[in-house]
Structure 1
Amino acid sequence: MSAELRHVRAFLAIADAGTITGAARALGIGQPALSRTLARLEGHLGVRLVDRSTHHLALTAAGTAFRERARRVVAEVDAVLDPARLTEWTTAPLRLGYAWSALGEQTPELLRRWRAARPGLPLELVQIDTADAGLADGRAHAAVVRGRVRVPGTRSARLPDERRVAALPEGDELAARPSVLLADLAARTVALNDETGTTTPGLWPAGARPSVSWVGSTAEWLVAIASGRAVGVTAAATAVLHRFPGVAYVPIADAPPLPVHLVWPDPPTHPAVPELLALVQRVSGADETPRG
């Protein structure tokens, strides 16, 4: 049993109207026909999208999740088929989001090579203090995401892992060492960002965890460390893009590496995302196949 775009549009009309009768009226078709269309889509997906047990219909959990992705897909199809938007869509800047540090020391190389390959299509790096670095609300067409972050409705490609470093006040005794251990930080207060940070208390063994000072942004994190109120743990790339007066970065010898991914909506919201993926993989040395 196959489904088509019209089935998806019918489902969205039902979700918006709250009743099959109202959706049928809005679409200009009969209620029985619309009910069959919905059943066809549910049969194709193998899951119930709409709970019909009450007079006022309600979406199931699967229906709610499907609605968000369906809206994005239908909007993209409408945009692709709009002749007036073709030129705009192919020349609009490509926005690469990141919460902390983009590609670290490889960021300038990425920008140089993109400018040489696509001089008419700007690649803009945008720092966005959300876990998905602006993917969910459309502020970014793709994002560099660190840690185990899952973003619904996206695909991802694994980039090389990064080592972790400690961020310390410059006058701290640990800042003069060539490297430190996690245990060296356990007696300190560690600044953590629970929205975009890649470090949690679980990085330390139970019973030997540091006290925590919560911060709301990268800037707050840097100020807390520079002022001596806390220390931090972050990706090595942060040390490249976030040099800050009073903050020193020292490698952590026994911290596990940090996974890094390039993540983008599926389907992409900019036609140049595949080119960006290929270049990011070349610049970073990654060669892994994208995952759904």
Structure 2
Amino acid sequence: MSIGRSGQSTGRGIEVRHLRAFLAVADEGNVTRAAARLRLTQPAVSRTLAALEQHLGVRLVDRSTHHLALTPEGVVFRDKAAAAVAAFDEALDSGGLHHWPLRLGHAWSAFGPYTTPLLRRWQERYPRTPLELRRIDDRTAGLTRGEVDAALLRGPVEAPGLVTEVLYEEDRVAAVAADGPLADRAALHLTDLAGETVVLNTVSGTTTIALWPPSARPAATLTVANTDDWLTAIAAGRGVGVSAASTADMHPHSGVTYRPLVGAPPVPVLLARRDAPGHPALPKLVALAREVVGRGGG
């Protein structure tokens, strides 16, 4: 297939515009927003996406919900499409064309104290490739669904098809109601929480009842689906929580007091990506993340 400078093929088959339309839909999760981003009409984007799927012989996007989601085949194809478009743009004009954004997911607390240094250094070194930080309440922060290119995750991740690297470890903290008796303590132990109801984020959190020894496990738990609900429940005195230390800095709350949790194992912070070629800037992200941690964020 021959492709001209405009991105149009000179023969039959898939053109770069098909890939751009698919990538826009994958990023926005909505055909209308994708059309606005591409400055096209909604019917034009829908036709382009349908033509791509027909050519490939697979369904790339699940249209059964209002918020479009990639199918498993769409997740795999997105990595290939992003790499192809980036290579095409680079080949035409390595000095001037806009690079496709690199989407970095997280479920909460991002990169902890290293978040700002990472974003600033990326902008300084790679200004033509935007690094978009996206919070997604999911155990893999949207990575397995193709919503992001890489993700900052906490705790062990067992999802298949992912490559993970431990960047550093965080101590754990206890989160208690600011007006409760436990807030007066300088530090807490797991046993101090055993008599309380423990609030567990079962969607994206890392704390489970298994953190406590069998002989001293809390008698009651309260499950929530995200960090905001977790904080609200603790502030209301409905229970206590356990999280990584960066939560105290990234999610301050007037009704919640954080205290060091003595004797609890640390939480590993991982950089995860799919086991596929992926976005061409991923190696740069991995290298920069290691550098920022190595320099202590300074």
Shift, 1:82, TM fit: 5.9
Q: CA deviation at 1:84?
A: 9.4
User: Deviation at 1:73?
Assistant: 4.8
Secondary structure at 1:207's aligned position in 2? helix
The answer to whether the Cα contact below 8 Å between 2:170 and 2:269 also exists between their aligned partners in 1 is: yes
Q: Report the TM-score when normalising by structure 2.
A: 0.68
Counterpart among 165, 173, 183 of residue 181 in structure 2 = 173
Task: Name the counterpart of 2:235.
Answer: 226
What does 1:103-114 correspond to in 2, within 5 Å? 103-114=111-122
Distance 1:72 1:197 in 2: 24
Partner residue in 1 for 2:292: 283
Describe how 1:124-135 pairs up with structure 2 within 5 A.
124-135=132-143
Q: Distance in 2 between matches of 1:143 and 1:271?
A: 15
Shift of residue 177, structure 1, vs aligned partner: 2.2
Question: How far did residue 95 of structure 1 move?
Answer: 1.1
Contact 1:90 1:271 in 2 (8 A): no
Cα distance, 1:243 vs structure 2: 0.8
1:258 alignment partner, one of 261, 267, 273: 267
Q: Deviations over 1:87-144 (max 9, x none)?
A: 6x97122111111111111111111111111122221111100001010121111001
How many residues end up aligned between the 2 structures? 221
Which residue does 1:63 correspond to in 2?
A: none
Alignment match of 2:225 (pick from 216, 223, 226): 216
1:100 aligns with 2:100: no
Letter in 1 for 2:262: A
Q: Distance in 2 between matches of 1:83 and 1:235?
A: 36
For residues 176 and 219 of structure 1, the distance between their equivalents in structure 2, rounded to whole angstroms, comes to 24
Indicate if the aligned counterparts of 1:191 and 1:225 stay in contact, CA closer than 8 A: yes
Shift in Å, 1:76: 4.0
**Aligned partners of 1:192 and 1:214 also within 8 Å:** yes
Gapped regions of structure 1 (runs ≥ 5): 1-25, 28-66, 287-292
Counterpart selection for 1:241 from 242, 247, 250: 250
Correspondences of 1:47-58 after superposition (within 5 Å) = none
Cα 1:147–1:81, aligned 2, differ >3 Å: closer, same or farther? closer
Cα shift readout 1:154-206 (whole Å, capped 9, x = no counterpart): 21111111100001111122222221100001101110011211101111111
Alignment pair present for 1:193 and 2:201: yes
Instruction: Give the alignment's TM-score, normalised by structure 1.
Output: 0.69
Structure 2: distance between partners of 1:93 and 1:74: 17
AA at the equivalent of 1:142: A
Match of 2:154 in 1: 146
Letter aligned with residue 264 of structure 2: A
Q: Which moved more, 1:264-273 or 1:213-222?
A: 264-273
CA distance in 2 between counterparts of 1:73 and 1:197 reads 26
Percent of residue pairs bearing the same amino acid type: 47
Partner of 2:36: none
Larger Rg computed on CA atoms: 1
Distance 1:79 1:100 in 2: 26
Mapped contact 1:160–1:285 kept (Cα < 8 A): no
Structure 2, unpaired ranges of 5+ = 1-54, 57-70, 91-96
Rounded to whole Å, the distance in 2 between the matches of 1:82 and 1:124 is 18
Question: 2:80–2:277: 8 Å Cα contact kept in structure 1?
Answer: no
